Amino acid sequence: MNTMHKHRSKHMATVRIFVLPLLLLLPAFGQAQKLKERMADRYEEVFDYPKMALIYEDIVGSGKGDADDLRNLAQAYQKMGMPLKAESTYEKLVASGKATPEDILAYAEQQRANGHYAVALAQYQAYSNMRPEDTRVKGYLNNPAVFENMMRDSTRQTIRKLPINSPQADLAPAIMEELVVFSSARGEGVGGGRTYAWDDQPYLNLYTALLKGETAEEPLVLRKDLNSRYHDGTASFDSVANRIYFTRNNVFYGTVKKAKDGNLNLGIYFADVVTGEFGQPEWGHLIPFDHNDPEFNLGHPCISPDGTKLFFVSDRPGGLGGTDIWYSP
């Protein structure tokens, strides 16, 4: 009897020895995931979306991610310019049954951006069923033929890559007589190869290329007075005033103007084409737009054909949404 009692006691002790450590490990797993999520939040705060995405890829890939993790991963992919990965992640979020109406709308927008119009229309309808008071999607639902027109038009056009493209981001072309002005992250400008955490590419600078028939050649970075160590672009050329307007971080001849919260926001700057020392056209001095404010973003200038109105985007107070289209006479 004593022998049986000893064996039973030894067995119970063994069970306690193995089970108790496993129970202690469960909170540790949860704490480790919360720590990862906090790290991802910090990367998001400084716009380091590649590192943010890596963390959420690890969490989601482990099978322990929830709807918030999928949502954050999809948003990181969008910020990084990875539309297909963003779409597939939103698809998983919607399939989980835990998507919010805003998730459904984001999924629809991503499908539309990727050219998947039938799926986009179905998701717009699903969102409208949840938020019937929201008029943002009514135009698509009341006129579904717009998607058919998009599909039909896409088969009529041929899109070609110009030889001035680089492996990095190249965007926002603006025509300036025989030149095309564009922004590029190819790293040949003032900032060199110094990368921006948002997409792990060099900062955008302004470039020009010669227009020759249906192509463009000989891309050259603009002089450093018009480019900075931070982002420069997008541009709009005023053919009436011979003036170029463009977006840049608020850096004026080397002086950085940050907001009170420490963010380096965007502003609009311009320069005129003037006659140089040897009678050749060249860029004049850089001039900041009168309505620039280091506390808010102003960007994406677009001059009207007659040169009388400058349209731009800003998150300054007094608008209707997060960012709005404004104009200045």
Calculate the average pLDDT of the chain: 87
Extract the tokens encoding 329.
């006479």
- Radius of gyration from C-alpha coordinates of the chain: 27
- 168 touches 202 (CB < 8 A): yes
* SS3 state of residue 291: coil
Across-strand partners of 325? Answer: 313
Going from the C-alpha of 189 to that of each of 55, 164, 205, the distances in angstroms are 32, 15, 6
pLDDT tens across 30-43, in order? 677 788 889 999 98
Residue with tokens 């002089």: 223
Same-domain check for residues 43 and 151: yes
Domain that holds residue 272: 170-328
pLDDT tens across 185-205, in order? 999 988 788 888 888 899 999
pLDDT tens across 57-73, in order? 999 999 989 999 999 99
| pLDDT greater than 50 at residue 142 | yes
CATH number for 111: 1.25.40.10
d(CA 170, CA 159): 15
Number of domains in the chain: 2
Same-domain check for residues 217 and 80: no
| pLDDT greater than 90 at residue 327 | yes
Residue 261 lies in a domain: yes
Same-domain check for residues 206 and 145: no
Pairing type for strands 287-288 and 266-275 reads antiparallel
Extract the tokens encoding 291.
């309505």
Report the predicted TM-score, pTM, of the whole model to 2 decimal places. Answer: 0.73
The predicted pLDDT at position 33 comes to 78
Q: Which of 94, 122, 156 is the last residue of a domain?
A: 156
The predicted pLDDT at position 293 comes to 95
Which among 190, 294, 287, 314 has a CA at the least distance from the CA of 249? 294
Strongest mean pLDDT among 126-130, 131-135, 274-278: 126-130
Confidence of residue 28 (pLDDT cuts 50, 70, 90): low
Across-strand partners of 324? Answer: 314
Q: What percent of the chain has pLDDT over 90?
A: 60
d(CA 27, CA 101): 32
d(CA 140, CA 136): 9
